[in-house]
Structure 1
Amino acid sequence: MQVNHPPALAPLPPTDGRQRAVLGQLSDMDLRLLQVFKSVVECGGLAAAELELNIATSTISRHLKDLETRLGLVLCRRGRAGFALTPEGRRVYEETLRLLDAVQAFRRGVDDIHARLGGPLALAVFDQTASNPAARIHAAIADFTRQAPGVHLELHVGSIQAIERGVLEGRFQVGIIPAHRSASSLLYTPLFDETMLLYCGAGHPLFGADRDALAALDWDALRRYPFAGLGYHSPNMELSHQAQLTRSATGFDQEAIATLILSGCFLGFLPDHYAEAFVRAGRMQAVRPTLFRYTCSFVGLLRRSPAPTRAAQLLQRCLVQAHAMAQEQEQGRVAGDFSCAAANGAAE
């Protein structure tokens, strides 16, 4: 007797209602789709990413749909209500950053094996360094570009903590920050200094005060005035704690501190080269600069492990050489001025 067996049952779909991911091995196309997704997230939507990616919004939308199909996940909501990541999309974005960083690190490693200087290299610098005459970052970049024309240099600006974390995680290959404390996992190289002075804005009680009133100011008297300081560990924060200044407002970069000072409500420290334009315009005034001042020493950062790439080491050497040359020139100029003054004194 012939027995008819029932047909085999199809496997049950996932119980959470999501499509099972079909992503197996990563391909170049998958990396391209993830790059598109990353750009859309960082631009805040499809239309905003159109210029960044140089492709039409409809194409971007198709790429996102393809990626969602590959992953079996809904990554974002997009439509008239705007762009928003789903919880799964947020996780995928974080994993995308890690993956793309690892791919770039792999490419840099292969370039090192071949003794090539190519690919991207990310340099991160602290806020408002371009106007510092002691900072020769631009000269170092010029020297580096001549020696490594095949490297695509990416320049970022960030806070001390963001730069340190970025170097440690490999997102930045070289960093430049004010020295404040050292970490055993980072290599520090002295580069240049910056003078910080205390400022008040027009409308502040100390703005335009007579010399006698300003001369009577000391650190104890300064505590009577509201102070605006940086909101993260830095020489600025260390000094304000040591002096027990009355922190009444917080900024997270020099631009924020300058804006608070310009309100006329707060005192705050700024780099003298950055504040100079506000002083010339009559909008700020240094408060007893011979007393209320401190020096920030800037350092270059490299990660100890894994070992920095040849390109990162070259950029660090260019930074050291550019600043050493500037210091030698300054010392020569000062010595020359002293010699001229001595000669003029002897002649008289």
Structure 2
Amino acid sequence: MLGTVTELDLRLIRVFLTVVEAGGISAAQTALNTTQPTISAQLATLEARVGFRLCERGRGGFSVTPKGTQFIEAARRLLAAAEGFRVEVQHINRKVSGSINIGLLGQIDPVANRKIGQAVARLRARHEGLYFHFTELSSSLLEEKIINGHIDLAIGYFWHRLPSIDYFPLFPETQIAYCAPSHPLFEQVGALTREDVSGFDWVWPSHPLPEMPAPTSIERLTVLTDSMDGAALLILSGQHLGFLPQHYATRHEQLGQLHPLNPDLLRYEVSFHAAVRHSARQRDLVSAFLNELIEIFGSPL
């Protein structure tokens, strides 16, 4: 009588069920890809393991015994349970559940946004139980939220390089200086010099990056803001000059609402990074999403 069910027992049970479904040992040879003597030996071994005869076989043909009939039902339930267990374990391994909290700088280039979406899609294709929570934050809040644990990963540009945070470059952004038609310099746009624009008021980021040299004296940086929409409104008012991401200002240019002061001179490039706490990188989900971002942005935009 069986005490424990081994892997060998499972193989022998499958042989027996195949013989039953084929209607005999001879007919099962092709399905099992083995010889009749081998099958007979395997059935005998199984019968020795269970302690009773499962089937009659010989010159009189093949037939299942009454106990064999009961065994067939039990065996099918066993194999179905084993298959269900295998599938469930694979499901556990493939479909990790959990959530990732992401902080994003507002008004990211649509092309870059599409790639971030691709990273999300790739990860959720492997882990359907995974959920993302996206929060739009100003650049001044991204690092703060990372440090205090409110977000797991941030995508933006950062003026600090804090030792407790890892930074991974993703993509560049071009910022260009603009003015509106009502500004006194509008008639001269296109070839203005730094000296030409230094005597006017500017809207300026609250936390400028090292890549962003001030275009005028600090007295002329009369408005400080981390809001891109706020900066655009002030430039559109005709009272201020200011830098905006080129992708953001394109629509205003098409409508004739803004024009670059000198796109070859009054411009700079900033680098967007993914930023994570050292401890957050230990989480499998955060690390997996970070790896997807790095891989996707490693290809041409």
> In percent, how many aligned pairs have the same letter?
24
Q: Quick one: which of 317, 320, 324 aligns to 2:291? A: 317
**2:96 paired with 1:117:** yes
**2:223 paired with 1:244:** no
Counterparts of 1:153 and 1:129, CA distance in 2: 18
Counterparts of 1:133 and 1:305, CA distance in 2: 26
Task: Label 1:321 to 1:274 Cα distance change in 2 as closer, same or farther (>3 A).
Answer: same
Rg larger in 1 or in 2?
Answer: 2
Q: Which residue of 2 aligns with 1:272?
A: 246
Cα RMSD for the two superposed structures: 2.5
Counterparts of 1:305 and 1:222, CA distance in 2: 46
| Cα shift at 1:227 | 0.2
Q: Quick one: which of 197, 202, 207 aligns to 1:222? A: 197
**2:119 paired with 1:140:** yes
SS in 2 for 1:326: coil
Once the two structures are superposed, residues 266-289 of structure 1 have per-residue CA deviations (whole angstroms, 9 ceiling, x without a partner) of 000000000000000111111110
Counterparts of 1:235 and 1:308, CA distance in 2: 29
SS in 1 for 2:252: helix
- Confirm or deny: 8 A CA contact 1:125 1:177 kept in the other structure: yes
Q: Which residue of 2 aligns with 1:186?
A: 165
Aligned residues: 209
Task: Label 1:261 to 1:273 Cα distance change in 2 as closer, same or farther (>3 A).
Answer: same
Unpaired runs of 5+ residues, structure 2, are: 1-92
| Cα shift at 1:117 | 2.7
Counterparts of 2:232 and 2:259, CA distance in 1: 12
Unpaired runs of 5+ residues, structure 1, are: 1-113, 328-348
SS in 2 for 1:325: coil
Q: Which residue of 2 aligns with 1:149?
A: 128
TM-score, normalising length: structure 2 = 0.64
Match of 2:217, as an amino acid? Answer: Q
Once the two structures are superposed, residues 207-264 of structure 1 have per-residue CA deviations (whole angstroms, 9 ceiling, x without a partner) of 2x146xx53x322332111101122x23289522x75361122222111111111111
- Confirm or deny: 8 A CA contact 1:228 1:257 kept in the other structure: yes
Counterparts of 1:175 and 1:199, CA distance in 2: 28
Counterparts of 2:111 and 2:160, CA distance in 1: 22
Runs of 4+ with >3 A deviation: 132-135
SS in 2 for 1:255: helix
